[in-house]
Structure 1
């Protein structure tokens, strides 16, 4: 049974005339009559009394008409609701976010600012690295970028204030973590020695955190002896390897402090090894949507309060 057959039947029930109903449905009368016949065959019942002038509905037809009216009403309401949902989705502002910030910061921040229903994460962005986020802004793939920022990014000059503007939302502490041993002591501890370097799970060199960590290590009064095991793009990947005991790694403090799977995490060194970066929200100075500017102004007002 096809939906248009139900619409045909309602048109015939209203007009009680095959020719006028066919005209309403924008089909020829033979085609219309054939569709009504197919409908009756599908229902295994006679719905139209063709012996009366004007046409009338049989008792089965009256029952069927009530069902058709409910279905078409529900369909119309559903279509309207879907249209509203689609319109709202179009109005939602697209956000590109690093995987780490998406997993442990975005939801709480969006709820706190009351913006969750107006923002949509571009899930592809959780696989982007470094400058990919600014490329996405330039290309119109996202309206906003949620990322880390610090003065040691090798491509920091790209954030031209004539082209971009930003808000610093919070400061993030990046802390070296390691799994603990059975006696409760850290399995790996900075700074290590030349004979026994500390195995380290590193960040991708094109990412946001690698250069900040290297700069902190270079400024330490103690020389760090590290044995890089591998390079990862995401904090979650580093955390998983750290928790399985392969080595130590720098993680956002809130991300490392709350995990219990595989074993408890502990600091792999004192606070002198902590790295501090900004969590920034970035947009084009001339955004493509007025909704972006409206939302941005609301955020600025919240920060000023």
Structure 2
């Protein structure tokens, strides 16, 4: 079984058409069809349902597709790293992080620790949800994952058992609103159920969404919120809030300047604030010299606090 056969299968699963997939893979259709048939023989199962239009995957084909994607992505990442090594480039440590941490924490932390030349953001990760970070660590796509983590007990559907972490700092999600003409919040917490406050939420599968949901559920007083939309990005929520469409809970670091200038104001007191840790994760069993040295340096920094 060759890697290009796995790439063939991914192309066929995407296009659902033998001729188009063969064109994408720059081979004739007979050659392409023969490779798919060899894959099925190798796996001992029918992977493609040829009776449907367009073509569809069998249950076995769906399972095999997940394997193909995992293997080809691992090969791609390894090729890139081998090219860097062959070219004599220093091995930089790739850290995945959400957009808000890339903008409002990571640069300052790298500068303060002198790590700018050794650690670089993995920009493919800016649109990931929580589970994606740990999947990427498991398959070696990135070396580190920086994420918000709830300080309150929270039910999270995540498998991070193969990872360990260090705490780099702390943060709060705080509720903010655009100001009214007199400088007071246009929307305030709590609100009545009859007249709820419009709210821009985070996806429930994300760490921020889970942390906020848990915190609000523990408050004795219901906030009176009506979800207007969900947004993965804190920057997107901030823009909608600034336009006066509702309230949003945003990382305090990301709104300090707006609060100081008065372009945003608090929508509620500190009981509505959600406490978070900033955790840096790595995989327990993935090692290379630069990463191990950095992890040891972080341990020494924690011990000296």
Same fold? TM cut 0.5: yes
1:267 to 1:289, Cα distance in 2 relative to 1, 3 A: same
Larger gyration radius, structure 1 or structure 2: 1
For residues 145-160 of structure 1, what are the structure 2 equivalents within 5 Å? 145-150=145-150, 151-156=153-158, 158-160=159-161
Residue in structure 1 matched with residue 245 of structure 2 by the alignment: 246
For residues 62-211 of structure 1, what are the structure 2 equivalents within 5 Å? 87-89=88-90, 91-150=91-150, 151-156=153-158, 158-160=159-161, 163-211=162-210
1:87 to 1:247, Cα distance in 2 relative to 1, 3 A: farther
Task: Render the CA deviation track for 1:203-230: whole Å, top value 9, x for unaligned.
Answer: 0111111111111111112111101000
Indicate conservation of the 8 Å contact 1:176/1:269, yes or no: yes
Indicate conservation of the 8 Å contact 2:170/2:277, yes or no: yes
Query: Match of 1:168, SS?
Result: strand
Q: Where does structure 1 lack aligned partners over 5 or more consecutive residues?
A: 1-82
Q: What is the Cα-based RMSD across aligned positions, in Å?
A: 2.0
Residue in structure 1 matched with residue 283 of structure 2 by the alignment: 284
Task: Render the CA deviation track for 1:111-135: whole Å, top value 9, x for unaligned.
Answer: 1111111011111101111100001
Alpha-carbon deviation of 1:192?
A: 0.6
Alpha-carbon deviation of 1:181?
A: 0.9
CA–CA distance in structure 1, aligned partners of residues 155 and 125 of structure 2: 19
Indicate conservation of the 8 Å contact 1:174/1:250, yes or no: yes
Query: Match of 2:258, SS?
Result: coil
Indicate conservation of the 8 Å contact 2:259/2:265, yes or no: no
1:149 to 1:86, Cα distance in 2 relative to 1, 3 A: farther
Normalised TM-score (structure 2): 0.68
1:198 to 1:86, Cα distance in 2 relative to 1, 3 A: farther
CA–CA distance in structure 1, aligned partners of residues 260 and 300 of structure 2: 40
CA–CA distance in structure 2, aligned partners of residues 167 and 138 of structure 1: 17
Indicate conservation of the 8 Å contact 2:190/2:224, yes or no: yes
Task: Render the CA deviation track for 1:4-46: whole Å, top value 9, x for unaligned.
Answer: xxxxxxxxxxxxxxxxxxxxxxxxxxxxxxxxxxxxxxxxxxx
1:120 to 1:86, Cα distance in 2 relative to 1, 3 A: farther
Alpha-carbon deviation of 1:262?
A: 11
Query: Match of 1:111, SS?
Result: helix
Q: Where does structure 2 lack aligned partners over 5 or more consecutive residues?
A: 1-83
Alpha-carbon deviation of 1:261?
A: 12
CA–CA distance in structure 2, aligned partners of residues 93 and 257 of structure 1: 30
Matched, 1:214 2:213: yes
Alpha-carbon deviation of 1:246?
A: 0.8
Residue in structure 1 matched with residue 21 of structure 2 by the alignment: none
Query: Match of 2:130, SS?
Result: coil
Query: Match of 1:155, SS?
Result: coil
CA–CA distance in structure 2, aligned partners of residues 153 and 113 of structure 1: 33
Task: Render the CA deviation track for 1:141-185: whole Å, top value 9, x for unaligned.
Answer: 1000000112415224x221xx21100111111100001111010
Normalised TM-score (structure 1): 0.68
Residue in structure 2 matched with residue 302 of structure 1 by the alignment: 301
1:207 to 1:300, Cα distance in 2 relative to 1, 3 A: same
